[in-house]
Amino acid sequence: EIKLEEFCEEVLSTPDDRSNDVAMFARQGLNKHETTQVFIMRAGDWTKGLTKQLEGRRNMRSCWVTGPYTSPYHVTYKFSHSVLVASGIGITPALGVMGQYHGNSKTKILVWSVRSKTMLKFFAPLLQ
What are the φ/ψ torsions at residue 61 (nearest 5 degrees)? Answer: -110, -5
Query: Which residues have CB under 8 Å from 50's CB, separation 6+?
Result: 2, 40, 64
89 with 23: CB under 8 angstroms? yes
Question: What are the backbone dihedrals phi and psi of residue 16, each rounded to the nearest 5 degrees, phi first?
Answer: -85, 100
Query: What is this structure's pTM?
Result: 0.43
Averages of pLDDT over runs of 10 residues in the chain (128 residues) are 40 45 47 58 80 70 62 83 85 82 76 81 72
Task: State which amino acid sits at residue 11.
Answer: V
CA angle 28, 94, 59 (to 5 degrees): 20
The per-residue pLDDT for 27 is: 47
